[in-house]
Structure 1
Amino acid sequence: MASNTVSFDMPDPMKRQLDQLSRMTKRDASTLAREALADYLQRQDEQASAIDEALRSADDGQFISHDAMSEWLESWGSAEEKSPPKIDVIKARR
């Protein structure tokens, strides 16, 4: 795989933290930074995909009702925590 060198400014506290982690793990700081960036990009891509999917559902008139969402959110942290609700409202497109 081809690689490229990227340069950017890093605040001193972040650089110290990266150097400390590098020493603690006995791993190169560049490797740690590359892995952290790859993880960040993966999470951002997943989030953007989830947003796109939600927008497509909304465009198709598919929604989760306020009551279903509220019931789910109110269960968070309880012994009876519920699974995320499924689409329960379908509106015809205009």
Structure 2
Amino acid sequence: MSVMSVRVADDVAQQLEALAHATGRSKSFLVAQAIGDYLEREAWQVQAIEAGLKEADAGNFASSDEVSAFFAKHGA
């Protein structure tokens, strides 16, 4: 396991301290959990973007009719 140091705003540090106290978890546990959640969410987004770019590179675009139908369905 790696150890790192980060700087956070004073209000963030206070919120982290309060949450650690309220949950009985260490600040380190909460920060590690938050970083893991963030990385998982960002990885999903990057994968979705990359998949979209591959589709675009392959020429897989919606037709004008499909776009019009989408906007008509959603009231735009």
TM bin (shorter chain)? 0.7 to 0.9
Give how far 1:68 is off: 4.1
Structure 1 residues 63 and 27 mapped into 2: Cα distance closer, same or farther (>3 Å)? same
Structure 1, 61-70 or 7-16: larger mean CA deviation: 61-70
Structure 1 residues 36 and 68 mapped into 2: Cα distance closer, same or farther (>3 Å)? farther
Query: Where in structure 1 are there 5+ consecutive unaligned residues?
Result: 76-94
Name the structure with the higher helix share. 2
> Normalized against structure 1, the TM-score is what?
0.69
Higher RCO by CA contacts (8 Å cutoff, separation 6 or greater) = 1
Query: Where in structure 2 are there 5+ consecutive unaligned residues?
Result: none
Q: Which runs of 4+ in 1 moved over 3 A?
A: none
Distance (Å, rounded) in 1 between the aligned partners of 2:17 and 2:72: 46
Structure 1, 41-50 or 61-70: larger mean CA deviation: 61-70
Name the structure with the higher strand share. 1
Give how far 1:8 is off: 1.3
Aligned to 2:47: 49
Aligned to 2:67: 66
Q: How many residues align?
A: 72
Give how far 1:31 is off: 0.2
